[in-house]
Amino acid sequence: MKIAIYHNDNDHSVEVVDELKTKILARDDADIIFDDAHPDIVISVGGDGTLLSAFHAYEQQLDHVRFIGVHTGHLGFYADWQDFELDDLVNSLVHDSKESVEYPIVQANLFFTDQTQRTILALNEIVIKRSFGTLSAIVDINGDYFERFRGDGLSIATPSGSTAYNKAVGGAVVSPSLEAMQLTEIGSINNRVFRTLGSPVILGASDVISVKAPDAETDSVQVAYDTLHFVSEQIEKIEFKIAPTKIKFAKYRHMNFWQRIQTSFIGPEEK
């Protein structure tokens, strides 16, 4: 089995990586080699931001790569392992079951005024905003007009990402067992010209959301996806859909999604 270890630059994370490598190399029964280019498993050491970065580093290999998160950061929503459980993790790697848990991801196809196109993927969400002022956009669903939006921005989130920025702007928490994406308005303005639903919209596997500038106008638009972002004045239209591939997590002891929700946001019941 080929593994890659992806980590942040935090001193503690670097120490954990060194310790993990030492423990793997010390196992005589481990048929494991380190391969950063074409791994079977990517171990992310850090926080959720580190795992999001690892996802994008290997997004072209999602058809065969499985991910594991080792928590050394703050929240660790995607992490199944703590830094003091490395012996158990190594033992699971040695006796790999090859099972995985899959989560849907979202894909955006961007169309620019110079006739070029670009495709991006997101594990958590894709957010579009104006660099300055309010975002003005026409929103279509499956080719039909849905609403004329004006406000701070729009967020299109995956089910696993529904607990992140989407939740902070009033979106619903959605089970990753659903092939779904969620459109959530950010600070919408409603008047006689711009009319929006004003509620999160959850769409299915065959649905397509199209966001385009009204009257063919273009503005400086920020596109933020997970830990990445860029700004463009040439975006004509963006189409969002559920990606045909998913992210896979190694199912050694993958924590149930609702256990993650309870642990991260609610905590233990008071006696």
**49 neighbors 10 (Cβ within 8 angstroms):** no
CA distances from 78 to 119, 121, 236 (A): 24, 17, 34
Beta-carbon contacts of residue 52 (< 8 Å; ≥ 6 apart)? 123, 124, 226, 227
Q: Other C-beta atoms within 10 Å of 29: how many?
A: 8
Question: Among 251, 136, 88, 168, which Cα is nearest to 182's?
Answer: 168
Please tell me the number of Cα atoms within 13 Å of 117 on its side-chain side: 5
Give catalytic residue positions: 48
The token pair that represents 165 in the structure block: 């920025």
Question: Among 23, 65, 5, which Cα is nearest to 245's?
Answer: 65
Distance CA 25, CA 108 (A): 41
Please tell me the number of Cα atoms within 13 Å of 105 on its side-chain side: 23
Q: Is 19 exposed, middle or buried (0-12, 13-18, 19+ CB in 10 A)?
A: middle
